[in-house]
Structure 1
């Protein structure tokens, strides 16, 4: 059986939860959906280490989604002696290596290094890919303007929005049984979907299948409203069958 596990559900500023990262587990193989700076803690809570990670998909280049790659790179190469597979959708490689990781990974004791020295890098085009028989489609969402940023449709069953504003045009293309959707509980954040925006853009029949993720620490203040208008808050460690 394949499952998606929420390793963390927190907004980037959260202290109560780990970064909003997830993991697909199938046949004892594991694909991370993002690897933020709290990834080692999140894996530890599931009884895992970086050595238990076989692959990573990066939705976009923000610290809470990709800074854990530095630890994965160094520890898998020098401590565990293997290369995880790194799946990168269009446009992400340039931001990830040239503008983000090269400064910390580009030079090691042996000399200059490239991203491919640490990972088996797979540059995706616009076609779906598979991991352990799990079919994964990806789509551009609506996060920071002009920034490559993606959500996932997994096994035609579960939609993982990634960091995004409301994307009704995407949800209209699919019929997911379960939706994991980015949400901010603040009214000032311009690149995440507020509760009001979600209610205005999605009808009730969609919202009742929607679990909110990437939320701030003040979530208890909004629990009653969220449980009334949505399926609820996604929780750290929660599992969804794929």
Structure 2
């Protein structure tokens, strides 16, 4: 029941997908520290996906003396820095700072990147209108949606082996996929390889239905193995 984050981990390094404000206790629950994070990829700029960056920035700089790599599409930079983090990170005891003073900043100008032996392909998803948001396909195998409404055409085109999909358990939400919209828009074979994530606190009421029609609810600390030519563990947080 922390924010919706995932960790892609192998012997080469740890990549965090999103960094919400609960990231420190979420990592501690998995026996990890902020120091263990080598890189972060941001899907979009909302508090539950980026507010943990302030803590990672300051602890990395002053406690661990480590700059994590911060990977984001170039269209997210102004929103993340000027509209979100600048107010808490731009000034410190050393004077004026930029985002690159805290992180090894990597701005993406194409919609894929490779890191620690894994391939990440970015796909625009349908979240808040007018807001740039990405899902990510990892090693042509696992699709991680970030936050999105139902995206049947994209997923039917990509044909992932496994899906971690944003969901809301409310009857209607214009910026998240409701469980009923997924059931009505996704074929049964797609639902059966889909774990639902980012769900509300009353999820046990839906457990039987979700386990009947989907792979289930993503659970804290759950791990899956990425297939094909890349071998690694993915642990939703």
TM-score bracket for the superposition, by shorter chain length: over 0.9
Q: Which residue in 2 is equivalent to 1:109?
A: 93
Q: State the shift of 1:170 in Å.
A: 1.1
| Aligned partner (choices 28, 43, 47) of residue 59 of structure 1 | 43
Instruction: Indicate the RMSD between aligned Cα atoms, in angstroms.
Output: 0.9
Size of the aligned set, in residue pairs, is 226
| Equivalent residues of 2:143, 2:164 under 8 A apart | yes
Deviates more, 1:123-132 or 1:146-155: 123-132
Tell me the equivalent position of 2:8.
24
TM-score by length of 1: 0.92
| Matches of 2:27 and 2:167, distance apart in 1 | 23
Please report how far the alpha carbon of residue 127 of structure 1 lies from its aligned counterpart in structure 2 after TM superposition: 3.4
Runs of 4+ in 1 over 3 A off after TM superposition: none
Deviation at 1:172, TM superposition (A): 2.0
Match of 1:97 among 81, 84, 91: 81
Cα deviation for residue 125 of structure 1 reads 1.7
- Structure 1 range deviating more: 22-31 or 93-102: 22-31
**TM-score, normalization by structure 2:** 0.93
Q: Which runs of 5+ in 1 are unaligned?
A: 1-16
Q: Does 1:69 align with 2:75?
A: no
Give structure 2 stretches of 5+ with no counterpart: 227-237
Distance in 1, matches of 2:24 and 2:111, equals: 30
SS of the aligned residue for 1:172 comes to helix
Does the CA-based 8 Å contact 1:128-1:137 persist in structure 2?
A: yes
